[in-house]
Structure 1
Amino acid sequence: MNKQAARRHFRSLRQSLTSAERNRFDDLLLIGFQSLDLPFIQSVLTYAAIDAHGEPPTGLITRYLQFLNPELQIAYPRTNWTENSFDAIATGDDPVFQLSERGIPEPPEGEIVAPEELDMVIVPLLAFDRHGYRVGYGKGFYDRYLAQCSSHCLLAGISYFEPLDKITDAGEFDVPLDICITPQNVYVF
């Protein structure tokens, strides 16, 4: 399946989930994440899930990571739409968000965390394949950012759905995930 078809298909699938299904899947995603043998994580870039897009909530995972390391530095993207890029902004324990011009919850202030300082990035996705390639929202923001992260940085995805066999138009600049958790499985690439 190509990226455009995957975006349409998985957006529709996510919107068709009931609240009860989402709640059950969220619990299973957390259980899957807790089963990982993770290295010590000192800093993580995550994102504030957009309810209207049906994205899985990342707060479950960041709270678990904070349980493992109370000193965890958590950052969220703040987008620069002119340059099609973003910065990772450290927010502290109780982040405050404002909606960007495109309706994305972002931290209005905070310290910029350099990509090479991150130990983990929780990457948003609509779909992924059995090789770790993901389908995002189509602007390439994350692939450009992930290319700047150090080789020890763990790239993680969470998805309500199982992987595609192959994203047929994954390109040379697409950065694959290291792991992806679904309600049924944990995939390591």
Structure 2
Amino acid sequence: MLKSAARKIFNEKRRAATAQERSRWDDLILIQFQTLPVPDIHTLFTYAAMEAEVNTDPIADYLHFRHPSLQIAYPVCDFETFTMQAVLSTADTPFILNRFGTPEPRMDGAEILPPEQIDLVVLPLLCFDEQGYRVGYGKGFYDKFLSDVRPDCIKIGLSYYEALDEIEDRNPFDVPLNYCVTPHRTYEF
């Protein structure tokens, strides 16, 4: 399937899902996530979910419980360069909506976490394939960012839907996932 077709299909599927369905799927994804062999980590880069995305709050809470000194960072996007920074956040960090409605931590005096210091990344996606390649929203923010993380950084996608056979129009700069967690199974690549 081509990325453009996948974006259309999976955006429609997510819009059609009810809040109750998404809430149940979020719970099932957390259960699946808890079975992953996550080593001792010190830094997590995750996203604050928009309305139709997998809720990452329970996953961040779970990882923080398992690793009490865990530092958690969230993306702040630059829409001129299609890049992003990992901004360290706490429970007290205020979040604002960017121009696309994505929650981001406020930058006032924020500390930036360099990509090479990140141990685990939780990524948003619309869909993914059996080889671990994801389809995002089409701006390349995450692939650009992931090109700077360490090779041993664990990359985990979260999806309400199972894998496609293949994304046919992958680019050389697309970075594959190590795992993708769905409500019904965990894929390892």
- TM-score (normalised: structure 2): 0.96
Distance between the aligned counterparts of 1:158 and 1:118, measured in 2? 18
The residue aligned with 1:63 is 61
Identity of aligned residues (%): 48
Question: 2:45 maps to which residue?
Answer: 45
Question: Residue in 1 aligned with 2:158?
Answer: 158
Q: Which amino acid aligns with 1:25?
A: W
CA–CA separation in structure 2 for the residues paired with 1:70 and 1:95? 18
Shift >3 Å, 4+ stretches: none
Contact 2:76 2:85 in 1 (8 A): yes
Given candidates 71, 95, 98, the residue that maps to 2:96 is 98
Alignment partner, residue 6 of structure 2: 6
Match of 1:86 in 2: 84
Structural mapping, 1:170-181, within 5 Å: 170-181=170-181
- Distance between the aligned counterparts of 2:113 and 2:93, measured in 1? 15
Report the AA paired with residue 68 of structure 1.
R
Find the aligned partners of 2:22 and 2:47 in 1 and give their Cα distance: 18
The amino acid that maps onto 1:32 is Q
Query: 1:72: which partner in 2?
Result: 70
How far off its partner does 1:102 sit?
2.7
Q: Give the Cα–Cα distance (whole angstroms) in 2 for the partners of residues 83 and 38 of structure 1.
A: 33
2:137 corresponding residue in structure 1: 137
Q: What's the C-alpha RMSD, in Å, of the aligned pairs?
A: 0.9
Give the letter for the 1:173 counterpart. Answer: F
Measured after TM superposition, the shift of residue 121 of structure 1 is 0.6
Deviation at 1:96, TM superposition (A): 1.6
Q: 1:100 deviation in Å?
A: 1.5
* CA distance in structure 2 between the partners assigned to 1:63 and 1:78 by the alignment: 20
Q: Which moved more, 1:90-99 or 1:80-89?
A: 90-99
AA partner of residue 58 (structure 2): L
Kept in 1: contact 2:78–2:84 (CA 8 A) = yes
Partner of 1:186: 186
Aligned residues: 187
Cα deviation 1:10-44 (Å, max 9, x = unaligned): 01111111222112111110000001111111101
Is the partner of 2:81 in helix, strand or coil? coil
* Structure 2 unaligned residues grouped into runs of 5+: none
CA distance in 1, matches of 2:100, 2:19: 25
Equivalent-residue separation in structure 1 for 2:92 and 2:29 (angstroms)? 23
Whichever residue aligns with residue 58 of structure 1, its letter is: T
2:45–2:122 contact (8 Å) kept in structure 1: yes
The TM-score, its normalising length taken from structure 1, stands at 0.96
